[in-house]
Structure 1
Amino acid sequence: MRHVHLWLRAHPLVFDGLAAAAVALFWLLLLASLVSSGHYWQAAFPLVFVIPVALRSRHQVGVLYATAALGLLALATFQFPHPAILYAGIVMAYSANAYGPRKHARYALALCVAFGIIGGVKWGYLILELTGTSYTLNELTLPNRILALGLSTGLCGAPLVMAWLWGGVVHARHAYLQEALDRASRLESERDALARLAVVEERGRIARDLHDVVAHSLSVVVLQADGARHVLHDDPERADRALEAIGRTGREATAEMRRLLGVLRSPEAASRAPQPDLGQLELLVSQVRASGLPVTLTVHGDLSAVPAGAGLSAYRIVQEALTNAVKHGGPGVTADVSAEAGPEGLTVVITDDGRGAGAADDGAGLGLLGMRERAAAVGGEVIAGPRAGGGFSVRAWLPSRTVVTQ
């Protein structure tokens, strides 16, 4: 039954046709008896109500008042109520409240009440005939006359008012369903917006990774190239090792950039591509050490227990700090990396004995800003600056649990 209702709702013209056919059927029921008794007007006129019922869904307001006008004419001229007219009135009362504008729906209720009162007064004598009494309305006492008129008014108006009320129930249900659909549409739009925001954030993360990879690798390549050029004639073997380091660093940087750019091209690649973590910290230090910067690494605690987000941030912070030491530390600089994992979080300290505050600033570096952003992303912080005795220090604190800032 529910599927039939949904199908009829999706095809209102079919319902209009069925309702108009029902009006014609009620008209045919009394046609022969009215014609044989000589009531030709009452026999023919109810068929006119097929037209407004058939146009119910296409001209809701117009057919409502057209049906009311035709009904008023029937009340004035008919000796008996006709079922075809009553059925047409029921259909129009239901449709006005279920699908019509709210103002006209209220007018339809007023019309239903008015027709019930007028019909009850006009055809009140039918109540007496149904009860089998021989009295007329004028012969009844006042209380009985009021009772008879009340019953006849109820019989005439109740079907119309009940149809109007049922139309209100249908209207409320449709409004609820429409609100649910609108809410679902808004939620879908919000979901898409969040997905787009996630893509933007992911692209920002990848951009920071690209900056770290390129800055670190190019610094190592430049340092090795300068060293190879100075010892090319005096120590060819050392120059060969430097060139080998250049090639290795370039290949690793190329592979890393391809991986990051692959994430941009393919959303599925983000879940497949492994991110660097603290397990690769020793390898990073070895690569920097091979480039000519003496680096020591000290680890306290279990680094494997550090959350993945904090581990990635710590790796990138160490990488950026060592890159800055290579670029700005000057000749003979050494560096030290210390990582301590505790129950509350991870502390990473990177120090060097280079130029420190005396290092030249080209104004193009975003390394310190990137380190602070990475730490803030997991609820941590970075304190960086020149050391009192010379050199530079970077201290990062990354909690075990990500802190969401408002």
Structure 2
Amino acid sequence: MPTGRGPLTRAGAPDVLDAAALTEAQVSGGSPVARLVHARPWVMDVTVAVLMLLVGLVGAVFAWEAAAGARSLGLYPRDSLVERTVTATWLAGASGGAALLLLRRAWPLAVTALLTVASLASLLVAGVLGVLGACLACALYSVAAAREPRTTWWTFGGVLVVVTAALWSWQDLGLIEVVAWFGAATGSMWEPDTYLAQPLFSPARRMGSVLLLHALLLLGVAVGSAARARRLHAQDLVERYRALARERDQSAALARAAERAHIAREMHDVVAHNVSVMVSLADGADAAFERAPAQSRDAVRQIARTGRAALADMQGVLGALGPAGDDDRRAEPTEVDLPTLVARFGDAGVPVRATGLDAELPDDTSVRLAVLRILSEALTNVLRHAPGAPAVEVCVRRTPTTVEVEVLDAGGTRPGDGGGTGRGLVGMRERAALLGGHVDAGPRPGGGWRVHAVLPWSDEEGDDR
């Protein structure tokens, strides 16, 4: 049987789980910069856009020089405006790509599609990709970080095929050309054949730009996928933490409910039974006060004894409900005196005929207590709900494996105290169920009421103790 001490947290004890206090940022940890970016994502968006714009401005200078060098080497007509076309397209791609990157967090797929179209237009108009390749890598990072892997890889494949085909077909000034022809207009020493073994604008030289593009796009997808995995892991940890907190709260609520039920059962068993006996004795003393003063005096003394017993039992219940370590008082007696219990109800006017009260009960305290409480509850129900019953039979039997308690009454001749709360029957069944037994309670075919309890016990368990 429980002692009244539940798993409730003591007052003032710290609450180790607080679901509201845990966030993904706390789980992810990281540097102050990482925490700032997690709290204000727009900071990273603006930083990336500004970085792409600065790289585009610097690259435009190199592209101007490379285009001028290529024209001076005769790779373009002398009267062409290739420098202006290449530089203007480069700057337009850099500024447009930077502007689109500001929106990549909200619309990653749309931004990726627009950057792909911008890359095709830049290659078609001026034969340069510029920083749009790096912008595409940043856009694919956002797709991988925000979308499912299947969507990410389909998007990556589409961008890779389309941009690679356009670059292979239309690019004139790639990475190799920009690095090789930068400054070629400053002197005649920059002869293309001395450092570029392949023919001008050949696919073999474009392979360098293709490989660089593939590396950038793969890097963007890989970093974005890793970021998504970290975010999902943090979300999973937060959800598990919150589920643990909810389970903690539910367990505490169930523990409080069980504690209240236990308190109610103990108070009912300890107080209601004794008070019912005291009320019956007081009524009898009042009725016999004039014609039988001696019997009235005996009844009053019995009331006093019953009240002191009830007070002692209540102190035991309250002591068991107190803080752990104060007392070892329990509301569970180890000594069971069934004859005294039955005699007390006999004094209260219940015509009890009992057999088996002197049977030696098992040493198991839980079984002994259950016998006492069930018998007390059954007789209390007779006293309250079947007053004037002509006969009440009590039988206690011990078998090698069970202890049986049976209480039979023939029904009352006067109105009872009402329907009751039903807590007594529930308490009897709960006590029996804790021991693996059962209680059958209900009306008898010929009138009256029957309570039959079967409580299993084991010699081996008793020997072990």
Name the residue aligned to 2:4: none
Distance 1:72 1:199, change over 3 A: same
Shift of 1:111: 2.0
Name the residue aligned to 1:364: 419
Shift of 1:93: 1.0
Matched letter for residue 8 of structure 1: V
SS of equivalent residue, structure 2 residue 197: coil
Gaps of 5+ in 1: 139-144, 402-406
Distance 1:287 1:314, change over 3 A: closer
The reply on whether 1:21 has 2:50 as its aligned counterpart is yes
Deviation readout 1:58-108 (Å, 9 max, x if unpaired): 4434433333333233222344442x3322221111111212477864435
Q: TM-score, length-normalised on structure 1? A: 0.71
1:3 corresponds, among 9, 30, 34, to: 30
Q: Distance in 2 between matches of 1:311 and 1:117?
A: 90
Deviation readout 1:290-344 (Å, 9 max, x if unpaired): 56268885363553x445xx565444212213324545485897876758697x6
Distance 1:203 1:259, change over 3 A: farther
1:175 corresponds, among 205, 226, 232, to: 232
Distance 1:255 1:55, change over 3 A: farther
Name the residue aligned to 1:281: 336
Name the residue aligned to 2:141: 94
Residues 221 and 250 in structure 1, CA contact (< 8 A), matched pair in contact too: yes
Distance 1:15 1:339, change over 3 A: farther
Deviation readout 1:185-227 (Å, 9 max, x if unpaired): 4454344344434444444444444444454134202321133
Distance 1:27 1:166, change over 3 A: same
SS of equivalent residue, structure 1 residue 300: coil
Deviation readout 1:147-182 (Å, 9 max, x if unpaired): 766665333233213422432343344334434443
Q: Distance in 1 between matches of 2:174 and 2:224?
A: 29
1:49 corresponds, among 81, 97, 105, to: 97
SS of equivalent residue, structure 1 residue 382: strand
Deviation readout 1:263-301 (Å, 9 max, x if unpaired): 9xx9979x989653241533x864663562688853635
Distance 1:395 1:161, change over 3 A: closer
Distance 1:384 1:275, change over 3 A: farther
Name the residue aligned to 2:108: 60
The reply on whether 1:220 has 2:268 as its aligned counterpart is no
State how many pairs are aligned. Answer: 380
The reply on whether 1:85 has 2:132 as its aligned counterpart is yes
Alignment of 1:368-383 (within 5 A): 368=425, 370-383=427-440
SS of equivalent residue, structure 1 residue 349: strand
Distance 1:157 1:368, change over 3 A: closer
Q: Distance in 1 between matches of 2:223 and 2:168?
A: 22
Q: Distance in 1 between matches of 2:142 and 2:213?
A: 19
Residues 20 and 51 in structure 1, CA contact (< 8 A), matched pair in contact too: yes
SS of equivalent residue, structure 1 residue 92: helix
Q: TM-score, length-normalised on structure 2? A: 0.63
Shift of 1:127: 8.9
Q: Distance in 1 between matches of 2:106 and 2:322?
A: 49
Residues 378 and 398 in structure 1, CA contact (< 8 A), matched pair in contact too: yes
SS of equivalent residue, structure 2 residue 455: strand
Q: Distance in 2 between matches of 1:225 and 1:185?
A: 58
The reply on whether 1:396 has 2:427 as its aligned counterpart is no
Alignment of 1:13-162 (within 5 A): 13-34=42-63, 37=68, 38-39=83-84, 40-42=87-89, 44-45=91-92, 46-82=94-130, 84-100=131-147, 105=152, 106-107=154-155, 109-123=157-171, 132-136=196-200, 152-162=209-219
Residues 227 and 239 in structure 1, CA contact (< 8 A), matched pair in contact too: yes
Residues 123 and 171 in structure 2, CA contact (< 8 A), matched pair in contact too: no
Matched letter for residue 71 of structure 1: S
Residues 108 and 140 in structure 2, CA contact (< 8 A), matched pair in contact too: no
Distance 1:123 1:75, change over 3 A: closer
Distance 1:381 1:85, change over 3 A: same
Matched letter for residue 111 of structure 1: V
Gaps of 5+ in 2: 1-27, 69-82, 181-194, 461-465
Q: Distance in 1 between matches of 2:322 and 2:136?
A: 61
Residues 406 and 453 in structure 2, CA contact (< 8 A), matched pair in contact too: yes
Matched letter for residue 38 of structure 2: R
Q: Distance in 1 between matches of 2:44 and 2:174?
A: 33
Shift of 1:381: 1.5
Q: Distance in 1 between matches of 2:175 and 2:199?
A: 11
Work out the percentage of aligned pairs sharing the same amino acid: 26
Distance 1:289 1:357, change over 3 A: closer
Matched letter for residue 178 of structure 1: Q
1:347 corresponds, among 403, 412, 427, to: 403
Residues 80 and 123 in structure 1, CA contact (< 8 A), matched pair in contact too: yes
The reply on whether 1:300 has 2:360 as its aligned counterpart is yes
Q: Distance in 1 between matches of 2:169 and 2:322?
A: 76
Matched letter for residue 336 of structure 2: L
Residues 350 and 393 in structure 1, CA contact (< 8 A), matched pair in contact too: yes
Query: More displaced, 87-96 or 15-24?
Result: 15-24
SS of equivalent residue, structure 1 residue 232: coil
Distance 1:287 1:383, change over 3 A: closer
By relative contact order (CA 8 Å, sep 6+), the higher-ranking structure is 2
SS of equivalent residue, structure 2 residue 105: coil
Query: More displaced, 391-400 or 156-165?
Result: 391-400
RMSD: 4.7
